[in-house]
Amino acid sequence: MKEQLQALEKEALQKVEEAISLKELQDVRVAYLGKKGPITEVLRGMGKLSKEERPVIGELANKVRGQIADAIDSKKADIEAEELEKQLAEETIDVTLPGRPVPTGGPHLLTSIVEEIEDLFIGMGFEVREGPEVETDYYNFEALNLPKGHPARDMQDSFYITEDILLRTHTSPVQARTMNMIQGERPVKMICPGKVYRRDTDDATHSHQFTQIEGLYVDKNVRMSDLKGVLDRFAKQMFGEERQIRLRPSFFPFTEPSVEMDISCKMCNGEGCSVCKKTGWIEILGAGLVHARVLEMAGYDPKVYSGFAFGMGPERIAMLKYGVDDIRHFYTNDIRFLKQYHQA
């Protein structure tokens, strides 16, 4: 029986040594020290032993059991320490690692340019106004001296919703709306940015939906030289001293005299390319002195008041300023294009 106990001890210690998880260790404990285990079995058979043998075997059995239990406890502590070590290693946070960048958006180039132009005119004393994109025929045309059937309506092919309602073709109706609201009671100095719509065929410089910024200054004694001064200041601040500007006589039914302002093409330095249609110039705005008839219709006495107005295309301005070769880049939302103009 002594040999049997010693063999059991050896075998159990070997199993403890081999156990690699708490579950395996628990299995060893149950197998050797459990109620149905071999040591309990030995102790149960003690009654059959002689008086002399009983204490010797009893002591040995208890010693074997104690040693197996101690080995299991010590191995358990080792496995637990190992598992904790492993868990800590897995959960380690390296605080020196650089953070993962979170992509951020930024203003669209068109938004930035409109805001830049707004700031520039606010600096010259203009206030910013808004008007509806779905407009009546009256404000879009008639109040601007373009009665029904007037041939100049063909200059702006329109998207009609009903016979009298359309998507505005320019921001000029906001001129008429603003003056109409004030009814000649005081001067007006405002700009109005917004979307406009035309049945134009899209190409490098034309889009069926684009942006305009209207300007209107009505006061006593406003002259052509005031318009020239404001536009000159605008162009110099926007494009720098080196760019050339030219004013060409033009025609708009709501201004008299009328002009168009061109800027020398940045893509070809005025030599002629596909962007400027080989002319070396890109038209960016129309302007003129507010027609007496328009003033009158809006409640201003043209003998007392005079004014100037202009309407510019910010897409074309951004194209000239940043060398964008196609207006369609503004609307296709290609992130590679937009990203170039994000300011951090």
The residues, ordered by sequence, that sit 6+ positions from 339 with a Cβ below 8 Å of its Cβ are none
C-beta closer to ligand FA5: residue 11 or 226: 226
Q: How far is the CB of 335 from ligand FA5 (least distance, A)?
A: 23
The stretch among 81-89, 130-138, 205-213, 268-276 that binds ligand FA5 (CB under 6 A) is: 205-213
C-beta closer to ligand FA5: residue 24 or 200: 200
- Examine residue 135 and tell whether it contacts ligand FA5 (CB under 6 A): no
- Examine residue 262 and tell whether it contacts ligand FA5 (CB under 6 A): no
The residues, ordered by sequence, that sit 6+ positions from 73 with a Cβ below 8 Å of its Cβ are none
- Examine residue 264 and tell whether it contacts ligand FA5 (CB under 6 A): no
- Candidate list 32, 139, 197, 310; residue touching ligand FA5; CB under 6 A: 310
Q: How far is the CB of 137 from ligand FA5 (least distance, A)?
A: 15
- Examine residue 288 and tell whether it contacts ligand FA5 (CB under 6 A): yes
Nearest partner of 256 among 227, 219, 298, judged by Cα: 227
- Candidate list 200, 226, 296, 326; residue touching ligand FA5; CB under 6 A: 200
Helix axis angle, 2-18 to 22-33, nearest 10°: 170
C-beta closer to ligand FA5: residue 135 or 214: 214
# residues contacting ligand FA5 (CB under 6 A): 25
- Examine residue 234 and tell whether it contacts ligand FA5 (CB under 6 A): no
- Candidate list 192, 238, 285, 298; residue touching ligand FA5; CB under 6 A: 285
The stretch among 96-104, 113-121, 145-153, 283-291 that binds ligand FA5 (CB under 6 A) is: 283-291
From residue 108, alpha-carbon distances to 77, 136, 205, 275, 338 in Å are: 63, 30, 18, 22, 7
Nearest partner of 233 among 307, 128, 310, judged by Cα: 310
Starting at the edge strand found earlier in the chain, the sheet holding 281-290 runs 127-128, 188-197, 209-219, 306-312, 281-290, 255-264, 245-252
- Candidate list 16, 19, 188, 287; residue touching ligand FA5; CB under 6 A: 287
Instruction: Confirm or deny that 256 is annotated as ligand binding.
Output: yes
Category of 251 on φ-ψ map: left (φ > 0), alpha (ψ -120 to 50) or beta: beta
Which alpha helices (H) appear in the chain, and where do they start and end? 2-18, 22-33, 38-44, 53-90, 109-122, 137-140, 173-182, 224-239, 292-297, 314-322, 329-332, 335-339
- Examine residue 140 and tell whether it contacts ligand FA5 (CB under 6 A): no
Structure tokens at 209: 């939906």
Annotated binding site for Mg(2+): 256
Residues near ligand FA5 (CB under 6 A)? 170, 172, 198, 200, 206-207, 210, 212, 214, 252, 255, 283-288, 309-313, 315-316, 327
